[in-house]
Chains A and B, each alone.
Chain A
Amino acid sequence: MTAIKYDTLSVGDALPDHVTGPISRANLALYAGASGDHNPIHIDSDFAKKSGMPDVFAHGMLSMAYLAQLITNWVPQTQMREYGVRFTSITPIHATVTCKGKVVEKYEIDGEKRVKIEITAEVDGGVNTLMGDAILALD
């Protein structure tokens, strides 16, 4: 991995897309155990239907973990300062999640060079599921 440098980046530069999926029921069962989020709405289709959903759907935090991989594939995690998202739509079972990011701001604060990146996750058909930003420190 070539180190990403502040001086060679421009606003508008894109991160390489990160594509994961399709998300299976097994993926959701594993994520429930690994994350400690045992809400049955993600792993029990009977419960999901009883709650008015057509089927189980993916944990929003699973997609947030995929979006984090988009970032840590680009720069080491130790350079992350902030990371936040809004969950704008449910991620259906069997969805393929495409994570995208681009640089929207460059600035210096407290002697540290930083970039703000805008990030999105979308599922098949281009529906946005997560939208947010991350603040990264760069050399």
Chain B
Amino acid sequence: MEQKDIKSVIGRETLPKTITVEQGQLQFFAKATGASDKLYWDVEAAKAAGHPAIPAPPTFLMCLDSLCPSKEASILAYLGVDIGKILHGEQRFSYAEPIYAGDEITFTSVVLDAYDKKGGALQFIVSEAQAVNQNGKTVGTMTNTLVIRN
């Protein structure tokens, strides 16, 4: 498939999508990352540390975004990019409210920028996602730069 012009994705917004933060997924993530702090997988330890439930660790917001089914094609699918050519360039989080097991998180995102380097040998897509919980509070913002190796 012919790749579309990278600039055509600038300003592209995604439809809102919502996912429930599952305790089992948080426990699975704790295991997969070798978390040593019990509060990330033991409900009683989380409560003893003052949390209402197991908290989502600092990078889990991105996982929720990945795990959440979407009704529309991803930007990469739209562009016709082979997943084997993707690298992660940059990732940034800002945190406003904690996220806990049982929360419902709604994501919306927009492509802030897209550009070529090295005569198109490398292409970059910069997206920003907002995450809002079931109470309408923003829990965090993510900025993500993907790199396409052509």
CA distance in complex: A64, B80 (Å): 28
Q: Does B33 contact A (CB under 8 A)?
A: yes
The residues in A between 14 and 67 inclusive whose CB is less than 8 angstroms from any CB of B are 20, 27, 30-31, 33-37, 39-41, 47-48, 50-52, 59-62, 64-66
B90, A85: Cβ atoms closer than 8 Å: yes
Q: Which residues of B contact A72 (CB under 8 A)?
A: 37, 57-58
CA distance in complex: A134, B128 (Å): 18
CA distance in complex: A36, B66 (Å): 5
* Among candidates B32, B58, B59, residue contacting A33 with C-beta atoms closer than 8 Å: B32
CA distance in complex: A85, B88 (Å): 10
B93, A83: Cβ atoms closer than 8 Å: yes
A83, B83: Cβ atoms closer than 8 Å: no
Q: Does B62 contact A (CB under 8 A)?
A: yes
CA distance in complex: A17, B85 (Å): 33
* Among candidates A31, A34, A41, A62, residue contacting B84 with C-beta atoms closer than 8 Å: A41
CA distance in complex: A95, B128 (Å): 30
Q: Which residues of B contact A132 (CB under 8 A)?
A: 92
What residues of chain A have their CB less than 8 Å away from a CB belonging to chain B?
20, 27, 30-31, 33-37, 39-41, 47-48, 50-52, 59-62, 64-66, 68-69, 71-73, 76-78, 80-87, 90, 132
12 interchain pairs, CB-CB under 8 A: A27-B32, A34-B32, A61-B91, A62-B33, A65-B33, A69-B36, A73-B36, A80-B95, A82-B93, A82-B95, A86-B89, A87-B88
